[in-house]
Amino acid sequence: MADAKSDIIFLPISTDYCFFVLYLFENQLDMRYLLLFLFLPLIVQAQDLTEDSVLDVTLSWDQAPNGYIYSVEIFVPDDMPPTGGYPVCIALHGNGGNGVQVLESMSNLLDCHIIVAPSGYENSWSICEEDSKGPDVQMLEELIESLKVYDNVNSNRIRLVGSSNGSALVNNFYIQNDDPSVDRVCGIVSQMNEPQFHGEEFHYPASGPNPDADYCGYDTSKEILVGRKYLSICNDNDGLIPFEGGPSVVGVDFIPAEDAIFKIAEVQGFSGSQIAPGGSPIGNPLIFEYVYLDGDVVLLRGNANHGTNSSQREYLKDWLGDCDFSSNTEDKSRADIRWFPNPFSSVLSINLINIPSSNFELINIEGQVVYAGVLTAGLQEFDLNVLAKGVYILKFNEKSKVIVKQ
């Protein structure tokens, strides 16, 4: 096709469609060709995350120079997503586990969260002496960014829940990451360890963990993102992670769980005194809660060894606001009743929020009503100094709570 001549001529037809004609004259064959192309407007369709979606993340490092694929399991509720999309729970397995196992466990607990569960290198996460030395925080950050493109995902309500070794990764992420779209994190049966918090500062390993270095190479201090909520679930009979802190069989020393939650509360803006040892009893089976910042920072103490009991699991479900979509959109008009302090010594304060009135009763452990009254909207104080020390049930209509008088 020597000496060919071609021209492109654009012929706008409408705002919805555009044609152009390619005119080609071939001297040698003395032929004319008209090629007509039709360009349709680009149609962008909504994209929902499904259980068939692919969220796998591939990264490389010294242990995996050719790349390791963090495979990611997915659970999506069957119902129509709420306005703004479903909150997402990223579930992190313990050492020796995998994404399949933790997905099944969390999907049996949470009804109204999308759940995604990655699997770590060598079935572990990169914490000091663990088998993996992978860039797991980077993996989580890339996974989170990939979730935000889906229409049925609430990109402002992404949560991390990890157990044991997975809890240590939750703590690493909590220290290093500043993305406010991750609004809540929960660490189960592994509080902050000394590499993560020492010298009255939080730290992370800028060059990765090094078991031969001081504090496993956690050498870079970091200011924590303010506003992210934190729940720690620990057990005082845990044979692997000591509730009272100190050396552990996993190779690192731990901060006492009660001190660790107080340090987190302080960095989140709490300026009061540390809650007295023991916490407040709630639930059946019995657990004890240490509540800071009106429930934004909480420690739960139980006796479920290196696991959780039903009270701890239900508390986690409620704390995440599963199926409570008003809390997922920060509905400030939601009705609520709050009381403090707990334990109390003499004066108990009760606050009715967006509730005009409510009856209330104090019931002792024998089932006797020892105090009753009527509440009106707002904050009220009650002098209960005449009551004996002990455990009471504080009951408002259909709502009740265990409280303690010191």
Please write the tens of the pLDDT for every residue from 295-309: 999 999 999 999 999
d(CA 311, CA 288): 10
Q: What phi, psi does 190 have (nearest 5°)?
A: -170, 100
| Residue indicated by tokens 């920060």 | 330
Contact predicate 301/288, CB 8 Å? yes
Nearest to 178 by CA among 144, 217, 219: 144
At residue 5, does pLDDT exceed 50? no
Please state the pTM of the whole predicted model. Answer: 0.72
* 336-405 is a CATH 3.40.640.10 domain: no
Pick from 155, 90, 83, 88: nearest CA to 117: 90
Paired strand residues for 302: 235
* 3.90.1150.10, 3.30.300.30, 3.60.15.10, 3.40.50.1820: CATH of 57-328: 3.40.50.1820
Q: What is the pLDDT of residue 224?
A: 94
Mean pLDDT of the chain: 86
Task: Answer for the pair 392, 370: CB distance below 8 angstroms, yes or no.
Answer: yes
DSSP string, 42-60: P-PPP----TT----EEEE
Question: Which of the two residues, 7 and 225, has the higher pLDDT score?
Answer: 225
Q: State the maximum Cα–Cα separation within the chain, in Å, rounded to a whole number.
A: 112
Predicted pLDDT of residue 184: 98
- Cα separation, 88 vs 184, in Å, equals 10
Q: How far from 111 is each of 159, 277, 321, 367, CA to CA, in Å?
A: 15, 34, 11, 34
Identify the weakest region by mean pLDDT among 129-143, 173-187, 227-241, 322-336.
322-336
Using CA atoms in the order 98, 99, 100, 104, what is the torsion angle rounded to 10 degrees? Answer: 110
Contacts 24+ apart (CB under 8 A), 3-12: 3/27, 3/28
pLDDT at 136: 97
